[in-house]
Amino acid sequence: MLPPIVPVDLLLARRAEPGVDLVVVDVRWYLDGRSGAEAFRAGHIPGARWIDLDAVVAGPPGPAGGRHPLPDPDVFAAGLAAIGVGDRTEVVAYDDAGGMAAGRLVWMLRTLGGSAGLLDGGIGAWTGPLATGDADPVAPTTRRALPWPAHAVATIDEVADRPADTILLDARAPERYRGDVEPVDPRAGHIPGAVNVPFSGNLDASGRFLGPTELAARYAEVGIDVGDTGGNVIVSCGSGVSACHDLLAMEAAGITGARLFVGSWSAWSSDPAREAATGPTP
């Protein structure tokens, strides 16, 4: 099983190991509407395959499910099979945003019991030449469609009615958490009681993940300790994508079992009956 965060040296070693079925997946996606496919064609890790976050890694958007609900299991399985990712394929995913988008795919695969990791440093960690153009032709494979485990996700009602000892994290940038700006969702602010743990804080100045001890210290500040099963932790963001970065960082620090609120702020803010908080405090 790959660790949640994969150094480039480990990727190279696994690629060179005989008999290992490993696929590198490019998950570049942009909130501002730029094309991840065009970015892939302009330069990607040799042998990588691009996946469409909106079409495969998320389902159709809507007010109830948010901008990036989990996809139908059949759609997810078929999309992976089309790029050669079968049931036993190891996946190392990357993007050019510190793992913001690629972390969603890695979390989904690990949640289903797969061996998947996020390339530490993203495409910037690759020191060799980049390939350009479309991906190399690949023979599609087969993959089973598996249901999303209920224990790994939290519904909007579970977030609203969470017990007092449940810690709700918001992985968005501080200015969106405070409600200073809101570029895409119906309202600005955050879910009342949520604490802000921006996913960007998991990275050092070079764009690589902090070490396990430093990551553990980040989460200890909001009451989550190493060894905690995470059963009382729910993570949200704008639409259930960047929250996965915090989930992987917690796993790297030794904290497992936290749940993802998939709809996150995009679903919460779409319901006028749900209260919103603003400012720097929960």
Task: Give, to the nearest 10 degrees, the angle between helix 102-111 and helix 243-252.
Answer: 60
Among 24, 80, 83, 237, the one annotated catalytic? 237
Q: Is 237 a catalytic residue?
A: yes
> Domains plus CATH for the chain?
5-125 (3.40.250.10), 150-268 (3.40.250.10)
Per-residue pLDDT tens listing for the chain (282 residues): 999 999 999 999 999 999 999 999 999 999 898 999 999 999 999 999 999 999 999 999 999 999 999 999 999 999 999 999 999 999 999 999 999 999 999 999 999 999 999 999 999 999 999 999 999 999 889 999 999 999 999 999 999 999 999 999 999 999 999 999 999 999 999 999 999 999 999 999 999 999 999 999 999 999 998 876 667 999 999 999 999 999 999 999 999 999 999 999 999 999 999 999 999 999
